[in-house]
Amino acid sequence: MNVIVCVKQIPDPATPGALDSATNTLKRDGKLILDDSDAYGVEMALQLVDAAGGGEVSLVSMAPNGETAGMRTALAMGAVKGVLVSDPALQGSDALTTAKVLAAAVQKLGGADLIIAATESSDGYTGTVPEQMAEVLGLPSVTFAKKVKIEGGVLKADRQTEAGYDEVECPLPALISVTAGVVEPRYPSFKGIMAAKSKPVDTVTAGDLGVSPAGWAGAGQKVTQVAQAEARQAGEVIEDDGETFNKVVAFLENLKVI
């Protein structure tokens, strides 16, 4: 069984985000790392391929400046190869363009039995790309999957709902998006990290994939205003001396909620 995982390489979430003053879009020019949210998909893909007794895990990604640092992390975990779409013309792409580009990258890899993505990225979090990709590729999908197995060539997943969860069955090929915490991502071994350096990543442009228009021209949206929200004022901050629980109780009492 072959699985393709969509991985996003994002600015380190530990550093504060910033907007590019010219375009009012997120700055993505520094060092990029593998989005934590995608480590779950990579791990799940590796486990499903293991369980199937054969096959491989490949990656697709879209990032500026030929960045592969985040993809190398996923390759170090055990993915075997990847396609990176890197193209200045893709700067400013909206989610729909991104979905079309990633779908084309999936096709360049010859498709797969299963495509896995996170439910949303940690930096832009539009949260529509996986389902848009499924529609572009004409595939069935199970979004917000929190438990996944393949039985007799059929995908069986528990899908998060407002009220609880649904059991869903879906024939392959299919696309799923997985929630965080769904599996425990492995740490890359030293051997894995060394091996990842020589694993093939095919870097292509949007044009190579036959996708256009991309970037600003294709976005269909434009940031027109950036404003500071009304700041919330800090209140009283006190060190616990063993009695501060009284303050909490008094605060709740004051609000008449107890």
Residues in region 4-23 near other proteins by CB under 8 A: 13, 16-17, 19
- Please, what is the minimum distance in Å from the beta carbon of residue 253 to other proteins? 9
For position 127 contacting other proteins by CB under 8 A, the verdict is: yes
Q: Which of 91, 107, 128, 203 binds other proteins (CB under 8 A)?
A: 128
Pairwise CA distance, residues 56 & 76, whole Å: 14
For position 242 contacting other proteins by CB under 8 A, the verdict is: yes
For position 195 contacting other proteins by CB under 8 A, the verdict is: no
Q: Is 227 exposed, middle or buried (0-12, 13-18, 19+ CB in 10 A)?
A: exposed
For position 228 contacting other proteins by CB under 8 A, the verdict is: yes
For position 181 contacting other proteins by CB under 8 A, the verdict is: yes
Pairing label, strands 32-34, 9-11: antiparallel
The token pair that represents 32 in the structure block: 């990029």
- Please, what is the minimum distance in Å from the beta carbon of residue 134 to other proteins? 7
Q: Which of 57, 53, 62 is nearest to 35 (CA)?
A: 62
- Please, what is the minimum distance in Å from the beta carbon of residue 98 to other proteins? 11
Q: Bridge partners of 141?
A: 175
Contact 40, 176 (CB under 8 A): no
- Please, what is the minimum distance in Å from the beta carbon of residue 121 to other proteins? 9
From 44-52, 59-67, 121-129, 194-202, give the range in contact with other proteins by CB under 8 A: 121-129
Say whether the peptide bond before residue 173 is cis (omega within 30 degrees of 0).
Answer: yes
- Cα 24 to chain centroid distance, Å, stands at 22
Pairwise CA distance, residues 144 & 159, whole Å: 5
Q: Which is nearer to other proteins, 198 or 225 (CB)?
A: 225
For position 99 contacting other proteins by CB under 8 A, the verdict is: yes
From 59-67, 73-81, 186-194, 233-241, give the range in contact with other proteins by CB under 8 A: 233-241
Q: Which is nearer to other proteins, 111 or 200 (CB)?
A: 111
- Beta carbons within 10 angstroms of residue 28's beta carbon: 18
* Interacting positions 57-96 with other proteins (CB under 8 A): 94-96
Q: 190 by DSSP, 3-state: which?
A: helix
Q: Which of 169, 194, 207, 212 binds other proteins (CB under 8 A)?
A: 169
